[in-house]
């Protein structure tokens, strides 16, 4: 498995460019010199140039929250992976539950995006996860495996350019995180499936947990053996709370 824990913050539709400057000028000194974990922030598209500029020379990487699968064309309102690379992004989130459930993105569309992003040299965080109804119906593993296999279809030998975020839909933005042992069970299952998909590349994949991660539960989540990072939503919007999660991850890495 990849060495460093990945501590990623997804700002969703929050912060203007001026607020992005303010955030980074507060956040950078808080995490300066921390190299035990990989630190990654996903701002809105409009904030990416500012975030790249403000993070230059630091230990903070920048990614995008989504992209389209075409390189260019008549696709009003869309952003291509080519544009993201030139803007300074290293990562892109694809298949987030909000894209699936609010905007109706299918596994087939998400798979096209995954392939396109990989072709342009971006590292992908592919999100998978079940709704509360699916969990209560005992479908968690079926849903996760389906999203995983369809999302990764046709990627060939590029599995180690992907990280997976397990985000139970019922835990996102609700304040109710999955119990660490329940999340660990799904993460272990995901690694088993990744080994079936590509046994030689599966070790290069980090499986992150996302869904109401905050400083108060980060240690319990990150201490699980198959949880290799977190995708943080609301708690990443304040530099203080996100820096605290980064430091918790670094402390866990140092204690290994």
189 vs 148: CA distance, rounded Å: 11
96 vs 121: CA distance, rounded Å: 20
pLDDT per residue of the chain (256 residues) written in tens, 0 to 9: 457 999 999 999 999 999 999 999 999 999 999 999 999 999 999 999 999 999 999 999 999 999 999 999 999 999 999 999 999 999 999 999 999 999 999 999 999 999 999 999 999 999 999 998 999 899 999 999 999 999 999 998 999 999 999 999 888 777 777 899 999 999 999 999 999 999 999 999 999 999 999 999 999 999 999 999 999 999 999 999 999 999 999 999 999 8
Can you say how many angstroms the Cα of residue 37 is from the centroid of all Cα atoms in its chain?
Answer: 14
41 vs 214: CA distance, rounded Å: 15
Please pick, among 36, 54, 105, 167, the residue that the annotation labels catalytic.
Answer: 167
Which residues, 6 or more positions from 76, have their beta carbon under 8 angstroms from its beta carbon? none
Comparing CA positions, the residue from 149, 160, 226 lying closest to residue 189 is 226
Please pick, among 38, 54, 96, 98, the residue that the annotation labels catalytic.
Answer: 96
Active site residue 98: no
125 vs 193: CA distance, rounded Å: 16
Predicted TM-score (pTM) of the model is: 0.96
Helix (H, G, I), strand (E, B) or coil at 121: coil
Q: What is the pLDDT of residue 71?
A: 97
Q: Please give the DSSP secondary-structure letter assigned to residue 103.
A: S
Which fold, 5-254? TIM Barrel (3.20.20)
109 vs 35: CA distance, rounded Å: 35
Active site residue 167: yes
Helix residue spans in 126-197 (DSSP H): 132-136, 140-151, 180-197
Q: What is the pLDDT of residue 1?
A: 43
Q: Where in the chain are the domains?
A: 5-254
84 vs 81: CA distance, rounded Å: 5
Q: Are 194 and 202 in contact (CB under 8 A)?
A: yes
160 vs 90: CA distance, rounded Å: 14
């Amino acid at each position: 498995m990849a060495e460093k824990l990945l501590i990623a913050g997804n700002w969703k539709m929050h912060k203007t460019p001026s607020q992005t400057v303010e955030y980074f000028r507060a956040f950078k000194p808080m995490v300066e010199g921390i190299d035990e974990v990989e630190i990654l922030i996903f701002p809105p598209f409009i904030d990416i140039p500012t975030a790249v500029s403000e993070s230059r020379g630091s230990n903070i990487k920048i990614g995008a929250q989504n992209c389209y699968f075409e390189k260019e064309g008549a696709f009003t309102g869309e952003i291509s992976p080519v544009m993201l690379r030139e803007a300074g992004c290293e990562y892109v989130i694809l298949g987030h539950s909000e894209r699936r459930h609010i905007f109706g993105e299918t596994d087939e569309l998400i798979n096209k995006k995954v392939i396109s992003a990989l072709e342009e040299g971006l590292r992908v965080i592919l999100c998978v996860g079940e709704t509360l109804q699916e969990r209560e119906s005992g479908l968690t593993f079926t849903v996760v495996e389906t999203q995983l296999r369809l999302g990764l279809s046709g990627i060939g030998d590029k599995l180690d350019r992907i990280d997976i975020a397990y985000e139970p839909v019922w835990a996102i933005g609700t304040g109710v995180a999955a119990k660490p042992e329940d999340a660990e069970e799904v993460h272990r299952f995901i690694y088993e499936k990744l080994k079936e998909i590509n046994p030689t590349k599966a070790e290069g994949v980090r499986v992150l947990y996302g869904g109401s991660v905050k400083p108060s539960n980060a240690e319990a989540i990150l201490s699980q053996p198959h949880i290799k990072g977190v995708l943080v939503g609301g708690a990443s919007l304040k530099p203080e709370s996100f820096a605290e999660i980064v430091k918790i991850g670094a402390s866990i890495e140092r204690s290994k």
